[in-house]
Amino acid sequence: MPKQPKPGRPVIFGEVLFDQFPDGSKVLGGAPFNVAWHLRGFGLNPLLASRIGSDDAGQEVLMRMRDWGLAVQGIQIDTEYPTGVVQIELQQGQPVYSIVADQAYDFISYALLKSCIGQQAISFIYHGSLATRSAISRATLKQIIDGCRALRFIDINLRTPWWDKQSIDKLIGDAYWLKLNDQELAELTGMDSIDAQEREAEASLLLGQYSLETLVLTEGERGACIISQSDTVCGASAAVENVQDTVGAGDAFSAVCLLGYSQGWADEIILKRALEFAANICEFRGATPDDSQLYSDYLMRWMNHS
């Protein structure tokens, strides 16, 4: 039987950055930030462990977090490197990323996190792979993992040129859950592409290769699958009436998965609710709506149908 995260506080580790769009607008994001934002919206109290610059962008991050009730104790201020930036272009409705080097989140310090992490129970750890491109943040994550001994959910983000197979293999080791999309599945398995009929089989092989409890595979408009040691459930994406952008859909999906695992929901329920919420987020510009009623409405509906 799959384990359920122990009682405690979620730790969300990784990048906080601004997505900059072709029209000059910018939106606060970064997968870990987005996931922490959604979890807070759903009533959890995550500790976001990241680093921002001593600049106007960094001040905006802190202001938005405080306004949302998201704890800032895990946010470090860097006086040398700037708050992260990603240039985004939309090609056929899908985001294409250009990620800048040497950003504040590349220098997350364990020494500055130790006091706020070490004194409390940790329910689970969530992280991606982008922030581990640097030796400093990578070492910090390892110390957090070694110190917390909590179940770990990794949502890999294979952004060229910031990853290699050996590093990803090492990063996934000892993870409990792994989430990736169909393109990332193809890259990890060394294929140019994987036929739709073969994806589930390849994902199952990956599950065994990494000794994971669960692998979550998202496939864009086609939907997603949750593949565990004992079962596989798949579902189609929910309809989206007014697509603004798809930048934060995957992070919204991850957040509901984490909420579901922490609450002991069955995989079929997690999948249905994650697909529903991810589709709704596509109707917002950016990944972090500040409408608390949106989250309350979902929680109320889900509680009434649990």
Measured from the Cβ of residue 118, the count of other Cβ atoms closer than 10 Å reads: 11
| Both structure tokens of 99 | 């990620």
Please write down the long-range contacts of 253-256, taking CB distance under 8 Å and 24 or more positions apart. 253/179, 253/216, 253/218, 253/224, 253/277, 253/278, 254/31, 254/35, 254/126, 254/153, 254/155, 254/179, 254/216, 255/34, 255/35, 255/38, 255/39, 255/42, 256/38, 256/42
d(CA 20, CA 92): 17
User: CA nearest 4: which of 262, 267, 270, 266?
Assistant: 262
Domains of the chain: 9-304 (3.40.1190.20)
Q: What is the pLDDT of residue 1?
A: 59
Kindly tell me the burial class for residue 112, based on how many C-beta atoms sit within 10 Å of its own C-beta (0-12, 13-18, 19 or more): middle
Each residue's pLDDT, cut to its tens digit, for the chain (306 residues) gives 567 888 899 999 999 999 888 888 888 999 999 999 999 999 999 999 999 999 999 999 999 999 999 999 999 999 999 999 998 887 877 778 789 999 999 999 999 999 888 778 999 999 999 999 999 999 999 999 999 889 999 999 888 888 999 999 999 988 999 999 998 998 888 776 677 678 888 899 999 999 999 999 999 889 999 999 999 999 999 888 888 878 789 999 999 999 999 999 999 999 999 999 999 999 887 789 999 999 999 999 998 875
| Contact predicate 2/228, CB 8 Å | yes
Using the CB atoms, write b or e for 55-76: b if 16+ within 10 Å: bebbeebeebbeeeebbeebbb
Q: Which pLDDT score, from 0 to 100, does residue 251 have?
A: 96
Token pair 């199952």: residue: 204
Q: How far apart are CA 169 and CA 188, in angstroms?
A: 9
